[in-house]
Structure 1
Amino acid sequence: MSGRGLPMKMVEKVWGRTHLPPPFAAPEGQRIGEIWFEPPPELPGILAKYLFTSEKLSVQVHPSDAQAPAGSRGKEECWLVLDAEPGATLAIGFERSVGADEMRAAALDGSIERLLAWHPVQAGDFFYLPAGTVHAIGPGLSLVEIQQNSDVTYRLYDYGRPRDLHLDEGIAVASGAPCDPANMRPVGESGAATLVEGPHFRLDRVAGAPAEAVAARYAGPLLVMPLAGAADIGGERIEAGGCGLAADIAAVDLGACRSALLTQPA
């Protein structure tokens, strides 16, 4: 195996969109919120996906590996904003320290939304979310999410939608602290940037062929997500909006790719 494209799955969400930005298109009448790529057997611990929002997502939190239910992974994740409507925001952590009792009361009466630190965002903003970070995504956003491959999500507040909440589990793993400013930074809409280096995965954005120092970090199988232009992986062409698995960095030709993400477990 030198490379292959990964199967793509569109997922309907109450907060999704009926119209998606190119190169994607939502099936008629469906509100697509996520497009994710089936993790290959070679890299089962990492998941790459796109998110598209027209409404606020729930206020939620994810456990660490140590806190996750038996047989499950924890979930650390990161977001790269691709497009943001005017006034679009994300919530990462709290404005001030919040104790468990206050967090529970605020989740029950809905005031937890006002305790969160909401950040105006634009294309090229990057966020890393350690496990335990309480967060929410606002409407009007398109972003890439790279995460540990886990579906363990604890909802603390959901704006009255008829979905289950998980207050006991969520508060038990949630950090009531503000987010570390080092986990939020603008990286611009283009150009090379190292976005994550461990503990669970590494992530780089490259513009054309990666620098020698970047390529040297990618030993073994990796995922390649072209954002603008196309990548060649072992002779298979992966267009923007797709995701491919490469056996190693030597199998990846990004000469025709103006922007791409490279990722693999750390």
Structure 2
Amino acid sequence: MDSLPAPFAAPEGARIGEIWFEPPPQLDGLLVKYLFTSEKLSVQVHPSDAQASAGMSGKEECWLVLDAAPGATLAIGFEQEISSEEMRAAALDGSIEHLLQWHPAKAGDFFYLPAGTVHAIGPGLSLLEIQQNCDITYRLFDYGRPRELHLDEAITVSEGRPHPPELRRSLVPGEDAQLVDGPRFRLDRIAGEPSAAILARYRGPVLVVPLDGAVSLEGVRIEAGECGWAADLHIADFSEARTSLVAQPAD
């Protein structure tokens, strides 16, 4: 995008598609990204830990919609069960786009994507993505753009089925929400200061992403649109926070 929602700003004449934060060694299993789309992104899939190359992790990920243009959509999973042979044929002729389930998206919508979930992001969206720190992406279809496809690898790891409805929801403003408590990472949205339950869940190093307001981590002020980390959570760090995310690799 060349026009980003607040608090972001693109340099004049520049287009920004994503912003990511390199994690510290203590939290190198997680990656935080902001994504901004002005066109459809490729139809793609990521492998699981078991399917990834030796020495690499797979990629489970989730999206929190921060801003959405009217009619914006995300494709996650298929409308109905599809075989590997049908998926390959649809990727080759381009019809795979129409076999995917396109979900309307608005600010506050949350989606969790297990590894193997075929997905695509439509235009007009600003997303916060929390993911396993892995750059393995297999593209099935790219709308005719001259980039490499990875059909064999993608078909091998893809789940040809609908996205489970329990893995997506719309968040209630101003409330704490446990978003992910999975085998790879945990993620909570915090309204104001962290509760005793959240403090008990998050022992040790954590990533913190302010969405509204600011936090103070290890003496460093972190504003909305940034990402920071702390050796541990402390209530005092959130005295100026209104809404934040906290994330941590699973034990």
The bucket for the TM-score relative to the shorter chain is over 0.9
Matches within 5 A, 1:58-77: 58-77=42-61
1:231 is matched with which residue?
Answer: 215
* Post-superposition CA distance 1:116-151 (Å, at most 9, x none): 001111111100000000001101111100000000
Say whether 1:86 aligns with 2:70: yes
2:132 is matched with which residue?
Answer: 148
Which residues of structure 1 form unaligned runs of 5+? Answer: 1-16
Matches within 5 A, 1:1-266: 17-250=1-234, 253-266=237-250
Alpha carbons of structure 1 residues 149 and 84: separation in structure 2 relative to 1, 3 Å = same
RMSD over aligned Cα atoms: 1.1
The range that moved more, 58-67 or 190-199, is: 190-199
Q: Is the 8 A contact 1:224 1:261 kept in 2?
A: yes
| SS in structure 1 of the partner of residue 234 of structure 2 | helix
* Post-superposition CA distance 1:45-87 (Å, at most 9, x none): 1001111111011000000000011222100000010111110
The range that moved more, 225-234 or 150-159, is: 225-234
Q: AA paired with 1:139?
A: P
Distance apart, 1:250 and its partner CA: 2.6
Tell me the matched-pair count: 250
1:13 is matched with which residue?
Answer: none
Distance apart, 1:191 and its partner CA: 2.6
| SS in structure 2 of the partner of residue 105 of structure 1 | helix
Q: AA paired with 2:113?
A: L
| SS in structure 2 of the partner of residue 262 of structure 1 | strand
Distance apart, 1:24 and its partner CA: 1.3
Q: Is the 8 A contact 2:109 2:170 kept in 1?
A: yes
Off by >4 Å, runs of 4+ in structure 1: none
Q: AA paired with 2:18?
A: E
**TM-score, length-normalised on structure 2?**
0.97
Quick one: percent identity of the two aligned structures? Answer: 69
Distance apart, 1:236 and its partner CA: 1.6
Question: 1: distance between equivalents of 2:65 and 2:236?
Answer: 24
Q: Is the 8 A contact 1:234 1:251 kept in 2?
A: no
* Post-superposition CA distance 1:15-40 (Å, at most 9, x none): xx112112211223222111110111
| SS in structure 2 of the partner of residue 103 of structure 1 | helix
Question: 1: distance between equivalents of 2:93 and 2:191?
Answer: 46
